[in-house]
Chains A and B, each alone.
Chain A
Amino acid sequence: GESVGLHLPTLSVQEGDNSIINCAYSNSASDYFIWYKQESGKGPQFIIDIRSNMDKRQGQRVTVLLNKTVKHLSLQIAATQPGDSAVYFCAEKSPGGGATNKLIFGTGTLLAVQP
């Protein structure tokens, strides 16, 4: 079946360091991925997305890497700040969703930034 999962449930980093959050997916037909950030008591916030025809995409302080060979993607956050502390989810557009762009979420990684 389809699944999106994370390798590390908790990641603790020092302020200023770079963070890397990993995610594995199981369906080779998946063609679109999104990273979301969710702070306590809030809904998921869009960070960055990537399509399967790309290997890398950069945003402001964030980079997403996609390795289709091993069905793995990662989110890199440069110069991590205390405000980056949150749960990070990778989400996959369901390849069997038809006209529905429904998303399949992983279980999340808690990023804790130590000052």
Chain B
Amino acid sequence: GAGVSQSPRYKVAKRGQDVALRCDPISGHVSLFWYQQALGQGPEFLTYFQNEAQLDKSGLPSDRFFAERPEGSVSTLKIQRTQQEDSAVYLCASSLRTRVEQFFGPGTRLTVL
């Protein structure tokens, strides 16, 4: 079966531009996570959805970051007025609600110039 997919795989933005990153989780996975991975570092938690409800957004670094999952499947991570420090790989993961192990997508590499 299909795994977690993310698009675009690469995104280059000029400082100040808005970007939108998409995640398609594994079918049937009600839990969806976004992580940010800086170069040479481990992923860091951003936000968590259970179905369409955003239950934890404690990892979002600023109010420029916004995530949604309106129908409980596809999710979008939006970053407004991008800054150079936003450059990173953004990873999406999904899981069954009753399980802890998360399955990751390939990530979107965002470069802000």
Chain A interfacial positions (CB closer than 8 Å to B): 4, 32, 34, 36, 41-46, 49, 89, 91, 93-94, 97-108
Contact = CB atoms under 8 A, between A and B. Distances in A.
A49 B101 contact: yes
A102 B106 contact: no
Closest 8 CB pairs of A and B: A105-B42, A43-B104, A100-B56, A102-B45, A100-B48, A101-B100, A44-B104, A43-B106
Contacts of B45: 94, 102-104
Query: Which interface class (under 10, 10 to 19, 20 to 34, 35 or more) fits B?
Result: 20 to 34
Contacts, number: 62
B106 to A, nearest CB: 5
A97 B56 CA distance: 9
Given A105-B42, A108-B42, A46 B101 contact: yes
Given A101-B48, A104-B45, 5 more contacts: A34-B100, A43-B104, A102-B45, A105-B43, A107-B40
Contact of B100 (A36, A49, A98): A49
B10 to A, nearest CB: 10
A46 B96 CA distance: 14
A106 B101 contact: no
Interface string B53-72: 00110010000000000000
18 contacts: A4-B42, A32-B100, A36-B104, A41-B106, A42-B107, A46-B102, A46-B103, A93-B100, A99-B56, A101-B31, A101-B95, A102-B33, A102-B45, A102-B48, A105-B42, A105-B43, A107-B42, A108-B42
